[in-house]
């Protein structure tokens, strides 16, 4: 049991759900872009929300966040985070496949839209996997994209949230394309009531 009150078995189950969701997203990406993109979830951790920034990047690094409100049986936010450099690389992979664009050094409007759409698919696939595994109903709103520094990561997003975000389920989400790796983080931000719902459903599922 870690200080957030979740067991290792529950955390392993949540990582497995993440693997299923990202696997489905990987298939969708590969079909859409006509190139093989694999996603891996090497680890999952549940931490207090004020610990998230230490798991993302060194201080004062520029990050790109794609974030969406989650409604349904729990009240949450979901965020996908990349370093600026990895976001540019991911945008290049997408746009190279769709419009044969030359490599870019900046994340322009086309690149931002491409990443937002890709993360929209990723978020939807992850929440669908959670729905099926836990027997709950979750849906997400159209994602927004923003830029921030490491030490401010997720804090500006949670300020607009109605409720007190206390916990973050952080899933390492690695994108692999032609041997190159792009490191992402898929983060589910929860209040304490929503975490209790998740852990209760996990217990029911595990004990079957």
SS3 164: coil
Q: Which CATH architecture has domain 8-85+119-207?
A: 3-Layer(aba) Sandwich (3.40)
Q: Specify whether the CB–CB gap between 39 and 176 falls below 8 A.
A: yes
> What pLDDT is attached to residue 2?
46
Q: Give, as one character, the DSSP assignment of residue 154.
A: T
Q: Encode pLDDT of 63-88 as tens digits.
A: 999 999 999 999 899 999 999 999 99
User: In DSSP terms, which residues pair with 76 in a beta bridge?
Assistant: 70, 190
> Given this model, what pLDDT does residue 160 score?
67
**pLDDT tens digits, one per residue of 18-47:** 999 999 999 999 888 888 889 999 999 999
User: What pLDDT is recorded for position 103?
Assistant: 63
* Distance (Å, whole) CA 113 – CA 111: 5
Residues 6+ apart with CB under 8 A from 45: 11, 55, 169, 170
- Average pLDDT for 108-119: 91
Q: What pLDDT sits at residue 184?
A: 96
Backbone angles phi, psi at 36, to 5 degrees: -85, 120
Give 127's Cβ-side CA count (13 Å radius): 27
Q: What tens digit of pLDDT does each residue of 159-170 get?
A: 767 668 899 999
CB 87 within 8 A of CB 81: no
Mean pLDDT for all residues in the chain: 89
Tokens of 138: 């979750």
CA dihedral sign of residues 205, 19, 115, 149: positive
């Amino acid at each position: 049991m870690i200080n957030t009150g979740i067991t290792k078995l529950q955390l392993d189950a949540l990582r497995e759900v993440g693997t299923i969701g990202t696997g489905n997203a990987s298939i969708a990406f590969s079909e859409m872009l006509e190139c093989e993109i694999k996603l891996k979830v090497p680890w999952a951790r549940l931490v207090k929300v004020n610990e998230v920034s230490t798991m993302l990047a060194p201080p004062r690094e520029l990050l790109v966040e794609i974030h969406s409100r989650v409604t349904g049986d729990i009240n949450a936010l979901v965020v996908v985070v990349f370093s600026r450099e990895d976001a540019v690389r991911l945008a290049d992979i997408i746009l190279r496949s769709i419009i044969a664009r030359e490599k870019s050094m900046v994340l322009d409007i086309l690149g931002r839209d491409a990443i937002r759409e890709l993360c929209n698919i990723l978020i939807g696939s992850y929440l669908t996997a959670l729905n099926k595994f836990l027997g709950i109903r979750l849906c997400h709103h159209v994602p927004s994209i923003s830029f921030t520094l490491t030490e401010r990561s997720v804090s500006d997003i949670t300020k607009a949230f109605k409720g007190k975000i206390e916990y973050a389920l952080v899933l390492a989400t690695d994108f692999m394309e032609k041997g190159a790796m792009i490191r992402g983080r898929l983060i589910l931000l929860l209040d304490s009531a929503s975490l209790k719902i998740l852990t209760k459903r996990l217990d029911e599922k595990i004990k079957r």
